[in-house]
Structure 1
Amino acid sequence: MTVIENVMGRIAVLRGGKYSVEVDVVTDSGFGRFAAPIDENPYLYIAEAHRAVSEVDEIIGPELIGFDASEQELIDSYLWEIDGTEDLSHIGANTALAVSIAVAKAAASVRKMSLYSYIGGTFTTELPIPVLSFAESDDFEYYVLVRDIMEITDVIDAMTKVAEKASDNSLETLSKASEEAGEELGLEVSLGIVQKKPMGLEELMTLVEDNNIAYVKPIGDEELFLELIAGTHGVFIDGEHLFREKGIIDRRYYNALSIKPINLGTLTDLYNLVNDVKSERITPILAEARYESADEALPHLAVGLKCPAMVLGKDSVAKINELNRIAEDLGERGRLITFEG
């Protein structure tokens, strides 16, 4: 049975020594657990995490007992109703996400299904390409991409080779190292750059043209995005800045969008946004938050929602290994999604 019998919260320790809330959802024959990450608030102290646990134990949990865990959309809408604000500022987006994904895990366990199959259905066979964050400088955070990837581990090999060959973290050095790594491995290895500070269009365009760059996450206004996407070919222009600042979802400005589940609230909210992004012919990229637990749900979300790529940190070994397990589980049915700009 999928009727919820108990909901419990506890403190979870995240990467970087931050704290969040972990939630257990129990049915008479199923169980789900999820520890919510944190992205924008790096100063969530232990007192705030304890407050989130109290919200789960004293308010949310009692309200959800008796609900059917398979009614994901109904439960997620009820979490918004319990919160009563327009941005989940009362119970917190991390608390709502922890409850929501724990509910989905519980329902999947009753059916003895993997989470990705439960979310995506019978014909879920597509694997996202992992994009790894591996270095940074004063101006950029750097990603490694393998465009012609055949195995999940190809991107690990590429990242390792680039790091071995780079003497420093300048863009020019890493670009040359990525080209050398690609030649040595027989793969199409490229860099991704995430701007840490604003930069003029001409300077940014020159950097993209002169280096081995396949992905850019810019900072700027609509005009910069329009000019950048018009002036590049086969390069992913990630519109996270425009989406977060102005709510813009429009293929004219960008062709990819990093989506962090923690910034939305519930699994239903994530599902709806991914579909909205796809309807605009924009590539949805599921991304880790700044502070994550070792929970393995994110690869399942990416596979179940058919996101062509996912951004992970070089130290996110639990999630990388889980994606590899999913690939093994799918076997010959599994295929890596074409990831094209």
Structure 2
Amino acid sequence: MRTIKNIKARQILDSRGNPTIEVDVITSGNILGRASIPSGSSKGENESFELRDKNKDFYFGKSVLKAVENVNNIISPELIGKSVLDQFNIDKLMIELDGTKDKRRLGANSILAVSISIAKAASKELEIPIYKYIGGLRNNILPIPLVNVINGGKHSNTSIAFQEFMIVPVKSDSFSEAIQIIHRVFNNLKNILNKKGFSTNVGDEGGFSPNVDNIETVLDLILESIHLSNYDPYDDIGIAIDCASSELYDNGMYNYSKFKKRNNTEINTNNNILKSREEHIEYLSFLVKKYPIISIEDGIDQNDWKGWKLLTDEIGNKIQLVGDDLFVTKVEKLKKGVKNKIANSILIKINQVGTLTETIETINFANKNKYKNIISHRSGETEDTFISDLSVAFNIEQIKIGSICRTERTSKYNQLFRIEEEIGKYSTYSKWKY
């Protein structure tokens, strides 16, 4: 019987240099499963609880020593001797051990690190890839990458109101070819920024962070890089944006100038930087008509369900509308969206919900109700590549990893290269469906 012999947690650093938790699970066969947990800067208020120490003398309050202690002293004794193959019941036990709705007692970061480590150890015990262990044998689809090329909002130090601008290779024959296309556009964008005198420093997720004055200028720069790369907008490459609208929402209005204070740049968005719900939706609709935008994430504030309904009715039959802060990877939130016909896709972030079992439940519910799943990283990442395997495990057709620089991002792309090679001639590259 393949049982858990030891569980050991420690504090490490993420891509922003902040502490996070890493967990080792050792089996009776001396097999190691290791996982580390990312962290977001732009968080939905209904995400499961990330436990930090809040002692200002240690990492400005961001240390996770209590989370480490909870794994070593509370979770570990309960799991020693249990079968490493019993993922569902182990996750269920940890949820019950915590006893709170949002995993506040033990910390979702503690629980999730153990949950993923268990799955990794089990796959090694069975000598099969992790994507086959958690997904079964019918997993051969490589996801379309939504690749961050310009960072704004909380992920950069610019005045750009929206948080992410991504390019999407919609007409590739393979994952490898898709990344080659991205590489060309990304580097041509860098050259364009250099020639125009903009900074090519990168933000939290590896996208460039130029000191640009408005959203349309950003989109024009991306469009120019697509043309320079000899690709056609829409046919070859689409644009995806993450508005992170909850960061802009204040007292019923959307404040496009929220990040203006960082410098002296004025944001000129239709000469109106404070927008009502209706004006914000009208502007998003205008952008969709003007640019090859095929996906909008968090177009409306996480609590503005009426606004989400209006946006879905306006453009939900034209493009992909993704709920991130809206759904926070939780079935009960997605059920409300399905019932009210709000959005048509969900972002899957495993640390929003806190266990592998609950993540899979949400993925399956989305599939059942014909909502697209998009596997996603966080802005504060580690070099753990689990989400790459997760995307292939369930034949999920899209993935957000960030840009094609910084090792916490490229490690995940590299894992998908390995999986593509391993599957070989049986691998299939996703086709854009919107």
Are the aligned partners of 1:132 and 1:155 in contact in 2 as well (CA < 8 Å)? no
CA contact (8 A) 1:12 1:21 kept: yes
Match of 1:57 in 2: 72
Q: 1:186 to 1:209 in 2, by over 3 A?
A: closer
Question: Which consecutive residues of structure 2, in runs of 5 or more, have no partner in the other structure?
Answer: 44-49, 153-159, 199-211, 213-217, 249-253, 255-274
Q: Would you say the 8 A contact 2:23–2:114 is kept in 1?
A: yes
Residues 195 and 204 of structure 1: is their aligned pair in 2 closer, same or farther, counting only changes over 3 Å? same
Does residue 335 in structure 1 map to residue 428 in structure 2? yes
- 2:91 pairs, out of 76, 82, 86, with 76
CA distance, structure 1, for counterparts of residue 175 and residue 233 of structure 2 = 14
Structure 1 stretch displaced more, 265-274 or 330-339 = 330-339
TM-score, structure 1 as length reference: 0.92
* Aligned residue pair count: 341
Deviation (angstroms), 1:42: 11
- Is 166-175 or 245-254 further displaced after alignment? 245-254
- Structure 1 residues 225 and 177: CA distance shift in structure 2, 3 A: farther
The reply to whether residue 300 of structure 1 matches residue 348 of structure 2 is no
1:131 aligns to 2:146 (yes or no)? yes
Give RMSD over aligned pairs.
2.4
Distance verdict in 2 for CA 1:122–1:75, change over 3 Å? same
**DSSP-derived class of the 1:326 partner:** helix
Give the 3 Å change call, closer, same or farther, for CA 12–305 of structure 1 in structure 2.
farther
1:154 paired with 2:215, answer no
3-state DSSP of counterpart to 1:48: coil
C-alpha contact 1:144 1:158 (8 A) present in aligned 2: no
Q: Which amino acid aligns with 1:122?
A: L
Aligned to 1:112: 127
- Please list every run of 5 or more consecutive structure 1 residues that lacks an aligned counterpart in the other structure: none
Q: What secondary structure, in the 3-state scheme, does the structure 1 residue paired with 2:64 have?
A: helix
Distance 2:385 2:284 in 1: 36
1:3-29 residue CA offsets vs partner (Å, 9 max, x unmatched): 111111111211010111111111122
Residue 242, structure 1, aligned to residue 323, structure 2: no
- Structure 1 or 2, whichever has the larger Rg, is 2
Give the secondary structure class of the aligned counterpart of 2:83: coil
Q: Which amino acid aligns with 2:381?
A: E
Structure 1, 214-223 or 49-58: larger mean CA deviation: 214-223
- Corresponding residue for 1:194? 242
Deviates more, 1:145-154 or 1:288-297: 145-154
Secondary structure of 1:249's aligned partner: helix
Between 1:31-40 and 1:157-166, the stretch displaced more is 157-166
The Cα of 1:101 is off from its aligned counterpart by: 0.5
Helix, strand or coil at the partner of 2:7: strand
Q: How many Å separate the matches in 1 of 2:125 and 2:52?
A: 37
Check conservation: 1:284, 1:308, Cα contact below 8 A: yes
Corresponding residue of 2:202:
none
Aligned to 1:222: 305
Other-structure match for 2:361: 272
CA pair 42-82 structure 1, distance change in 2 beyond 3 A: closer
Aligned to 1:173: 221
Deviations 1:110-165, CA, capped at 9 Å, x for gaps:
10011000011122212211211121241221011011122223343333333424
Aligned: 1:145 with 2:168: yes
Assess if the C-alpha contact under 8 Å between 1:32 and 1:103 holds in 2. yes
SS in 1 for 2:167: strand
- Judge which range, 158-167 or 77-86, deviates more: 158-167
> 1:314-329 maps to which residues of 2 (within 5 A)?
314=403, 315=405, 316-329=409-422
CA contact (8 A) 2:131 2:393 kept: yes
Displacement after TM superposition at 1:180 (Å): 4.2
Structure 1 residues 10 and 319, CA, compared in 2 at 3 Å: closer, same or farther? same
Give the Cα separation in 2 of the matches to 1:150 and 1:259.
Answer: 25
Q: Normalising to structure 2: TM-score of the pair?
A: 0.73
In structure 1, distance between residues paired with 2:117 and 2:135: 16
Cα separation, 2, equivalents of 1:277 and 1:73 = 19
Identity %: 26
